Amino acid sequence: MKILVQKYGGTSVANQSRMQEVARRIVRCQEQGHAMVVVVSAMNHTTEDLIAAARRINPNPSPRAMDMLLATGEQMSVSLLAMAIEGLGHNVVSLTGGMSGIYTDQRHKKARIARVDSQRIMAELGKGNIVLVAGFQGVTPEGEITTLGRGGSDTTAVALAAAVVAERCEICTDVDGVYTADPNLIATARRLPEITYDEMLELSRLGAGVLSTRSVELAKEYGIPLVVRSAFSDDGGTQVVEVSVVEQVLVRGVTLDSDISRISVAGVPDRPGIAFGLFSKLASEGISVDMIIQNLNRAQVNDISFTVAKEDAPAAVQACWAFLESIGGHGLVLQKDNAAKISIVGTGITGSTEVASTLFGTLFESGINIEMISTSEIKISCIIDASEGEEALRRLHRAFSLDELELR
Ligand code: ADP
Ligand code: ASP
Ligand code: MG
């Protein structure tokens, strides 16, 4: 059986006519000889609306209660899409994450898939059904509903593709591939016909929301052929591959993440164990920390700065104050919310001194101050003021000639 896993995002099933179009497309793929497993996201802004509705009832709902609510968004779209396919006279079954055998750990709102039991899906395919699965959700072994974090339907799709040994996994969305920058911010951005797992992983981590980071990690780990393509057109597409043989460019893309806060813990004693104590405290609260900088300051005193996702900032600040208290109350916690991270990504870029000097030179010429820098083998990131984020993105896209990239 040749199994194709497709995933349709929120805008692709935003209303009745789009849903019907997607239904026809799925049926066409089945008629071309594929056994179809289709993962669906919640319609358009449903997840945001559910979050807002929850906040109106209780500003701080429990993660379990949130998951009960958020999972309904995908349940609604998967049911409606099944009805659209029934209307076309095809056999179809809609399943929740739990019904399709997606088991996760207990971490509500950011659960990790621990195991996929594909028996039910395989049985339904065996009966000739198109199988529709609600994205972004699973169950714990105790049967509690969990969700996988924002963008989690991509993760569902790749995990299912691995479990059913699919031919490939297609992420069908509102853009026709992965671009050199977010095409909704940079009009001259170019579609990349091919990108490596590692480059895609970096782009996702650094804010290119077109694929969830976990989905790319899973695709790389299980060697799943992954394609990003338009939900409505057969043209274009980006293949995510192990090794790219397309054009030899150094910088593959530019990303902007405006959803971050910078936190500084100022005036902590300069002695062994301080960084360990601080970051252990943050880790014990489940807060992921990104860039870290420590400045040697005045005599015997250091400042440590780091970045976190904006939504984690209040908890991080609280954890920092608690840490300062535990070491005798020295120091201060400062928070800057209007920070943004601008990054360039490409295999081997840190091996080229020219790339770094073009990056820093472009920001300098644009009068943009760099607050923090971090590098890895395939990326360079700078923290800048959020008000200058889009300007920096545009200037860097041009400086690295990404709008002129020759693509086949
Ligand atoms: P879906 O609802 O289908 O999951 P998302 O909104 O999660 O769609 O992801 C698609 C969006 O990702 C695009 O509309 C685009 O604005 C954004 N995006 C950010 N960076 C990139 C990039 N480098 N290439 C393509 N799209 C990008
Ligand atoms: N509906 C969820 C979200 O908005 C999951 C997804 O769309 O992938 O994050
Ligand atoms: Mg998405």
Residues 142 and 263 in one domain: no
Residue 194 lies in a domain: no
* Ligand 2 pocket member 197 (CB < 6 A): no
Output the CA 44–ligand 3 centroid distance in Å: 10
pLDDT for 408 equals 47
Report angle CA 65, 69, 74 to the nearest 5 degrees: 145
The residue-averaged pLDDT of 332-343 equals 95
Identify whether residues 16 and 153 lie together within a single domain: yes
pLDDT per residue over 135-144, tens digit each?
999 999 999 9
**Whether 46 contacts 210, CB under 8 Å:** no
Whether 83 is in a domain gets the answer: yes
Q: 251: which residues sit within 8 A by CB, 6+ positions away?
A: 344, 345, 346, 349, 355, 400, 402
User: Which of 174, 209, 225 is the last residue before a domain boundary?
Assistant: 174
Over residues 81-107, mean pLDDT: 98
- Mean pLDDT in the chain? 94
**Domain assignment present for 197:** no
Do the domain assignments include residue 193?
Answer: no
CB of residue 253 inside a 6 A radius of ligand 2: no
Please indicate whether residue 136, judged by its CB atom, sits closer than 6 Å to ligand 2.
yes
> Are 292 and 397 within one domain?
yes
Rounded CA separation 140/105 (Å): 6
Domain boundary residue, one of 141, 174, 207: 174
pTM equals: 0.92
Q: Identify whether residues 380 and 278 lie together within a single domain.
A: yes
* pLDDT exceeds cutoff 70 at 313: yes
Asked if the structure places residue 339 within a domain, the reply is yes
9 and 154 assigned to the same domain: yes
Owning domain of residue 268: 254-404
Task: Tell whether 187 is covered by a domain.
Answer: no
| Ligand 1 atom nearest 191 alpha carbon | 24
Q: Is the CB of 208 under 6 A from ligand 1?
A: yes
If asked whether residues 112 and 261 sit together in one domain, one would say no
* Residues 258 and 128 grouped into a single domain: no
Q: Which of 18, 44, 136, 182 to mutate to test the pocket of ligand 1 (most atoms within 8 A of CB)?
A: 182
Q: Are residues 169 and 297 in the same domain?
A: no
Which of 133, 150, 174 delimits the end of a domain? 174
* Domain match, 133 and 263 both: no
The domain spanning residue 275 has which CATH number?
A: 3.30.2130.10
Distance 342 CA to ligand 1 centre (A): 17
316 & 169 share domain:
no
CB 159 within 8 A of CB 209: no
Residue 199 has pLDDT above 70, yes or no: yes
Residue 221 lies inside a defined structural domain of this protein? no
224 in a structural domain: no
Backbone φ, ψ for residue 386 (5° rounding) = -60, -30
Greatest extent of the chain over all pairs of C-alpha atoms, in Å: 77
Q: DSSP assignment, residue 405?
A: -
Residue 156 alpha carbon, nearest atom of ligand 2: 8
Ligand 1 pocket mutation, candidates 210, 227, 393, criterion most atoms within 8 A of CB:
210
Number of domains in the chain: 2
Which band of pLDDT confidence, cut at 50, 70 and 90, is reported for residue 229? very high
26: burial class by Cβ within 10 Å (0-12, 13-18, 19+)?
A: buried
User: Phi/psi zone of residue 165: left (φ > 0), alpha (ψ -120 to 50 degrees), beta?
Assistant: left
Q: Can you give the CATH number for the domain in which 82 is found? A: 3.40.1160.10
pLDDT category at 246 given cuts 50, 70, 90 is low
Do 260 and 170 share a domain, yes or no? no
pLDDT digits (tens, 9 = 90+) for 292-309: 998 876 678 899 999 999
SS (H, E, C) 156-168: HHHHHHHHCCCCE
15 and 147, same domain (yes or no): yes
Tell me the sheet residues that pair with 304: 265, 294
